[in-house]
């Protein structure tokens, strides 16, 4: 059986529970302890797949095709091990399971209630990943803020687990905010005291308090927080603002968070921390030799979280190339044929982002044309790849009305079509082509020079595809389809040989980029942009 750490949050949302959880897991991993992280989200959506990115940011997709919260991306980027469907549970999924059981008569005439039926289902899922011996420690991040009505059943379940399991098998880390009042020149502990009191009223007792703060906490304040919140004096931890999230594991190490955890959970078998690879990455990240400008063409650019994995992949690939990647957000709705030169001036590479629906589509197509004609390194992901196909069809092949049936169902040249298996589907949630699929790469292609392999696996999230009726026509005009799904023949990669770097992929390479294994496509795209900048 694994040991369990729960991470709760108080005072306000957006304190970075996911990063704290991922940093703690990283520190344990660096000591030879196997750890995984899961997130329990209090909303009623069965998964975040149906959520607009403006609501909760990017939808992160796992190997097994689960549409999950973006925090799972952080878990994978930090730990370099894949997560799965089991790592993200919502209230909606819990209720769906319990209601399905009720309809099947499994409760034998009992009244089905929040306690014990909903909490039993939550408990089952909270403990699940720790049961097969794969992990020494399971860290569970509880979404939302303590005191929210909707997270109560989760907190109640943590209470039950804290009560049921031996003391050395479970602990609670509570993350709060210590605001600094400029006028009074003082750090204020009262909000933290209140949030710990609220947590204690539900019966959950925190073992560690992690304090987000803009100013250093002195010993007096730490002692005061410890006293009022009833934790050991050494168990109040400062989480100062960091210049990059990748520094947080080191900050937590300095505060001895890992040592506190090892002691509380009575873990005997561990090694000295080895963060060599992590530190090599951090050093490169902090000492870039030059800066390059990459245009990110999308429609959710007001909200950075909508492209989280792409932005993090730039950071990984930038460090690898020893350059700082300055991401210039360009709203695709603002790009027109008349202003494209102005809009994309000074860029060394262009990434056309994934997305859904009609808004900003023509701007994306104009941006692709600009990159193709001006020999600017181009990288299209999912919708971005589809736009590259449409641009080529319209401007090179002369199919002026070519389109995707997603935007124009009546296009005479539907070069991007709906996948056969999608046509019968009417439900929206979890019904796209999701998760990891194999792709076979042709030798002598840009894709092969990037991956150095003919068989790869990448993750997907889409309904539409390259229309193979047009395959020969595209080949004749010079677009190369260098990657296909071996079973279905679906086109996964397109590229243009007479161009320094022009590639579009139907899948999402950003979902597999981690600190220790940056996505090859990003590494090579940044390298091409670096060359462009030097030229
Ligand atoms: N809307 C497109 C499709 O469903 C692209 C999806 C995406 O970019 N993730 O195929």
- Report the separation in Å between the CA atom of 50 and the middle of ligand 1, taken as the mean of its atom positions: 13
The Cα–Cα gap between 130 and 158 comes to: 15
- Report the separation in Å between the CA atom of 447 and the middle of ligand 1, taken as the mean of its atom positions: 21
Backbone φ/ψ region at 202: left (φ over 0), alpha (ψ -120 to 50), beta: alpha
**228 ligand 1 Cβ < 6 A:** no
- Report the separation in Å between the CA atom of 354 and the middle of ligand 1, taken as the mean of its atom positions: 6
**355 ligand 1 Cβ < 6 A:** yes
Nearest Cα neighbor of 255 from 164, 310, 173, 344 is 173
- Report the separation in Å between the CA atom of 367 and the middle of ligand 1, taken as the mean of its atom positions: 18
- Report the separation in Å between the CA atom of 454 and the middle of ligand 1, taken as the mean of its atom positions: 25
Q: Return the best residue to mutate from 464, 465, 467, 490 for the ligand 1 pocket (most ligand atoms within 8 A of CB).
A: 464
- Report the separation in Å between the CA atom of 373 and the middle of ligand 1, taken as the mean of its atom positions: 25
**462 ligand 1 Cβ < 6 A:** yes
* pLDDT value for 422: 74
**463 ligand 1 Cβ < 6 A:** yes
* pLDDT value for 304: 82
**354 ligand 1 Cβ < 6 A:** yes
**461 ligand 1 Cβ < 6 A:** yes
* pLDDT value for 303: 84
**406 ligand 1 Cβ < 6 A:** yes
**pTM of the entire predicted model:** 0.94
Q: Return the best residue to mutate from 297, 298, 351, 355 for the ligand 1 pocket (most ligand atoms within 8 A of CB).
A: 355
Just list the catalytic residues: 382, 508, 510
Helix orientation angle between 71-79 and 308-321, rounded to the nearest 10 degrees: 20
The Cα–Cα gap between 68 and 138 comes to: 18
- Report the separation in Å between the CA atom of 401 and the middle of ligand 1, taken as the mean of its atom positions: 20
- Identify the residue whose C-alpha is closest to ligand 1 atom 8: 354
Nearest Cα neighbor of 337 from 311, 314, 369 is 369
The Cα–Cα gap between 89 and 72 comes to: 11
Q: What share of the chain is helix, strand, coil (3-state, %, to 5)?
A: 40, 20, 35
- Identify the residue whose C-alpha is closest to ligand 1 atom 5: 383
Q: Return the best residue to mutate from 61, 310, 356 for the ligand 1 pocket (most ligand atoms within 8 A of CB).
A: 356
Contact (Cβ atoms closer than 8 angstroms) between residue 350 and residue 372: no
* pLDDT value for 61: 96
* pLDDT value for 50: 80
Helix (H) / strand (E) element for 392: namely helix 383-395
Please calculate the CA angle 85-87-91 and round it to the nearest 5 degrees.
85
**356 ligand 1 Cβ < 6 A:** yes
Residue whose pair of structure tokens reads 């991956």 in the numeric block: 451
Greatest extent of the chain over all pairs of C-alpha atoms, in Å: 75
> What is the separation, in whole angstroms, between the first and last Cα of the chain?
58
- What is the SS3 assignment for 39? strand
pLDDT per residue rounded down to tens, the chain (535 residues)? 899 999 999 988 889 999 999 999 999 999 999 999 999 999 999 888 888 877 788 999 999 999 999 999 999 999 999 999 999 999 999 999 999 999 999 999 999 999 999 999 999 999 999 999 999 999 999 998 999 999 999 999 999 999 999 999 999 999 999 999 999 899 999 999 999 999 999 999 999 999 999 999 999 999 999 999 999 989 999 999 999 999 999 999 999 999 999 999 999 999 999 999 999 999 999 999 999 999 999 988 888 899 999 999 999 999 999 999 999 999 999 999 999 999 999 999 999 999 999 899 999 999 999 999 999 999 999 999 999 999 999 999 999 999 999 999 999 999 999 877 777 877 777 788 999 999 999 999 999 999 999 999 999 999 999 999 999 999 999 999 999 999 999 999 999 999 999 999 999 999 999 999 999 999 999 999 999 999 8
Helix (H) / strand (E) element for 371: namely helix 361-373
The Cα–Cα gap between 113 and 120 comes to: 10
Task: Kindly provide the residue ranges of all beta strands, DSSP E only, lying in 430-518, ordered along the sequence.
Answer: 433-441, 455-462, 464-466, 480-484, 491-495, 502-505
Parallel, antiparallel, or unpaired: how do β-strands 491-495 and 455-462 relate?
A: unpaired
* pLDDT value for 201: 93
**464 ligand 1 Cβ < 6 A:** yes
Contact (Cβ atoms closer than 8 angstroms) between residue 530 and residue 290: yes
**422 ligand 1 Cβ < 6 A:** no
């Amino acid at each position: 059986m694994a040991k369990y750490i729960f991470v709760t949050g108080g005072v306000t949302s957006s304190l970075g529970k996911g990063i704290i959880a991922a940093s703690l897991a990283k520190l344990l991993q660096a000591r030879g302890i196997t750890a995984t992280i899961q997130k329990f989200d209090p909303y009623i959506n069965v998964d975040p797949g149906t959520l607009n990115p403006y609501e909760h940011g990017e939808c992160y997709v796992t190997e097994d095709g689960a549409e999950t919260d973006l925090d799972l991306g952080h878990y994978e980027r930090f730990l370099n091990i894949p997560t799965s469907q089991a790592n993200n549970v919502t209230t909606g999924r819990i209720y769906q399971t319990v209601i399905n059981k009720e309809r099947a008569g499994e409760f034998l005439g009992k009244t089905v209630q929040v306690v014990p039926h909903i909490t039993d289902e939550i408990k089952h899922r909270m403990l699940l990943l720790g049961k097969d011996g794969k992990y020494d420690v399971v860290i569970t991040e509880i979404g939302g803020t303590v005191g929210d009505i909707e997270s109560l059943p989760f907190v109640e379940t943590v209470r039950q687990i804290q009560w049921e399991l031996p003391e050395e098998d479970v602990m609670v880390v509570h993350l709060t905010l210590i605001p600094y009042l400029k006028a009074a020149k003082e750090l204020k502990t009262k909000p933290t005291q209140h949030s710990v009191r609220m947590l204690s009223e539900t019966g959950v007792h925190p073992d560690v308090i992690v304090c987000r703060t803009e100013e250093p906490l002195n010993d007096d304040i730490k002692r005061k927080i410890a006293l009022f919140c009833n934790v050991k004096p050494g168990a109040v931890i400062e989480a100062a603002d960091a210049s990059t999230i990748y520094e947080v594991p080191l900050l937590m190490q300095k505060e001895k968070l890992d040592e506190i955890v090892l002691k509380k959970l009575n873990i005997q078998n561990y090694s000295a921390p080895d963060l060599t690879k992590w530190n090599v990455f951090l050093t490169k990240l902090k000492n870039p030799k030059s800066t390059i400008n990459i245009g990110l063409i999308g429609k959710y650019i007001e909200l950075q979280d909508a492209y989280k994995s792409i932005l993090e992949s730039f950071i990984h690939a930038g460090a690898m190339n020893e350059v700082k990647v300055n991401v210039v957000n360009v709203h695709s709705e603002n790009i027109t044929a008349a202003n494209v030169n102005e809009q994309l001036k000074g860029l060394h590479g262009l990434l056309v982002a994934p997305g859904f629906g009609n808004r900003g589509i023509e701007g994306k197509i104009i941006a692709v044309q600009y990159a193709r004609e001006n020999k600017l390194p181009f990288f299209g992901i999912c919708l971005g790849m589809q736009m590259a196909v449409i641009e080529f069809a319209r401007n090179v092949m002369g199919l002026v009305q070519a389109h995707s049936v997603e935007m124009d169902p009546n296009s005479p040249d539907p070069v991007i079509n709906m996948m056969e298996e999608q046509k019968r589907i009417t439900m929206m949630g979890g019904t796209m082509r999701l998760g990891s699929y194999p792709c076979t790469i042709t030798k002598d292609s840009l894709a092969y020079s990037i991956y150095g392999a003919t068989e790869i696996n990448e993750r997907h999230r889409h309904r539409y595809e390259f229309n193979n009726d047009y395959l020969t026509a595209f080949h004749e005009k010079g677009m190369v389809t260098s990657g296909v799904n071996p079973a279905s023949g679906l086109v996964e990669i397109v590229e243009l040989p007479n161009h320094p770097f022009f590639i579009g992929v139907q899948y999402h390479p950003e979902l597999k980029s981690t600190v220790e294994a940056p996505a090859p496509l990003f590494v090579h795209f940044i390298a091409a942009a670096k060359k462009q900048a030097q030229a």
